Structure 1
């Protein structure tokens, strides 16, 4: 019997899509990573990596747009959704890269990979790995950055400087419980992570996912990875075609990060800054994000994919 689904809304366009197949892969350190497969079995393959405090449920509206024409693989980062929490020393960019590489090996075909926020950092962390060079035809980086996250975040309404940095480090790294999803809590989440025009449905969808993330997991990733992130040196090795998407009103990873990425990537296919949108663009503008993924598939992933049988590291869920 599979474990209960992580927190999420249960109806409407932001509710999770039932997976065609579910399985686990084993990462380099033995961590078990929950994976879902959606869409057409014979379609070109897309791999989706979600961000901090999220889960596969976060990608639900994007999966809906892609499923008719693509084979879509989404996975839970360790400690999120249905992937168990990491052991000691397991909250690192190396671990993120290891987990993605395990998923890529299980995919059994060349893919386009899309990463949102910490998922984008995962893609950057894996740059240069053999699995990336052999299996990834192109990538999309959404609402992410490679360094200076707390220095350039504008979640705290303060002028740039040491005080804002310290406040943001304390808030993002807090292990205090978020409590139940309430109208006030949704408004706070919208301020921090979404554009001002985000709908109540979008706010609730994001809030239920974020509030379901275990508080120790949330704090560990913030403290051990986000607060000290520096992947600038990896960008030169991310030498496949890469598109970059940002939200104009993103407070967590403002567009300055996207512009810096676009300037540093060896083969940036384009930078899209979405007017009025915040950090959660796969929920705020799922069709736009899905279209960006589909364009990379069309332009850089030839054929319909050739999924091979599951590798030994793959474990099917009953």
Structure 2
């Protein structure tokens, strides 16, 4: 039997570094989340939430930039990576918020939280939760939006209107298998998700991660969150200092979303639009994203956890065997 290829590249600048600790966190509905800890155990804590069809591996180059000075927590959203899939009722923004809050509790200290795409939606969905108010010192929203995703996405090369909306809904919500990673598949993925200057290593890194996402999980999140997203009312509760990053060539969440977020957020620290880049800026420009996270840590996170700080009593964590 042929051994399946791992869901990420295994060498080079986009390959994940070994975590010094891996564990499982249990969310409010019993769903289990795979969590990894990287970097300095005595450093300020950063929690990174990946987007739709991705995994902890997506953050690998950003983690590499942050690890020398920060304690970096990454986790697989439910159904992605090494977090088990859930039932149809579990693919909601409420579930995303529950999961982030469980991870923040397990982190055991205040943190800067950063989310890419659906990870940014996760942060917005959790904005009013007590755990966010207690644990989140600042936030970064990267290549994301709060509503009207399918109306304003430009993945389908059609004029804005009902036809483009329906085509994009069908594409994103499809459960058809993506198949193996091929040169053609990487070119298609670059068109949909990356800027025109994305290199072969970046394209393969993204393709391996996206193609590894189970097709039913991919379709369930698209239908349960992306197609019906409306988090506009939650933005007022996200009152921690929040930075916003957009890619100029982002087809999935065009910069219009980031501009609306910057206007609506109560405490936006700035909007950065990256020329020529697409939706996958943590891989297309990892140092820029890492620098934005580090700036939020420097400016807004002053307490540092002691090494091996005990987890809070409310956390539901179990060590992986």
TM-score (norm 1): 0.97
Unmatched runs of 5 consecutive residues or more in structure 1:
none
* Contact 1:120/1:141 (<8 A) preserved: yes
Report SS of the residue matched to 2:90: coil
Report SS of the residue matched to 1:89: helix
Displacement after TM superposition at 1:6 (Å): 5.4
* Contact 1:246/1:274 (<8 A) preserved: yes
1:80-113, CA deviations, whole angstroms, 9 ceiling, x for partnerless residues? 0000001230000000000000000000000000
1:56-77, CA deviations, whole angstroms, 9 ceiling, x for partnerless residues? 0000000000000000000000
Matches within 5 A, 1:1-318: 7-306=7-306, 308-311=309-312, 313-318=316-321
* Contact 2:110/2:303 (<8 A) preserved: no
- Give me the CA root mean square deviation: 1.1
Displacement after TM superposition at 1:317 (Å): 1.2
Q: Give the Cα–Cα distance (whole angstroms) in 1 for the partners of residues 288 and 17 of structure 2.
A: 19
Report SS of the residue matched to 1:258: helix
Q: Give the Cα–Cα distance (whole angstroms) in 2 for the partners of residues 6 and 53 of structure 1.
A: 15
1:23-82, CA deviations, whole angstroms, 9 ceiling, x for partnerless residues? 010000000000000000000000000000000000000000000000000000000000
1:125-148, CA deviations, whole angstroms, 9 ceiling, x for partnerless residues? 001100000000000000000000
* Contact 1:5/1:82 (<8 A) preserved: no
Q: Give the Cα–Cα distance (whole angstroms) in 2 for the partners of residues 310 and 83 of structure 1.
A: 21
Change (3 A) 1:121 1:65: same
Total equivalences in the alignment:
315
Q: Give the Cα–Cα distance (whole angstroms) in 1 for the partners of residues 246 and 277 of structure 2.
A: 8
Q: Give the Cα–Cα distance (whole angstroms) in 1 for the partners of residues 6 and 87 of structure 2.
A: 20
1:241-266, CA deviations, whole angstroms, 9 ceiling, x for partnerless residues? 00000000000000000000000000
* Contact 1:6/1:82 (<8 A) preserved: no
* Contact 1:5/1:81 (<8 A) preserved: no
Unmatched runs of 5 consecutive residues or more in structure 2:
none
Change (3 A) 1:241 1:5: farther
1:202-224, CA deviations, whole angstroms, 9 ceiling, x for partnerless residues? 00000000000000000000011
* Contact 1:242/1:268 (<8 A) preserved: yes
Higher alpha-carbon deviation: 79-88 or 308-317: 308-317
Q: Give the Cα–Cα distance (whole angstroms) in 1 for the partners of residues 79 and 104 of structure 2.
A: 19
Runs of 4+ deviating beyond 4 Å: none
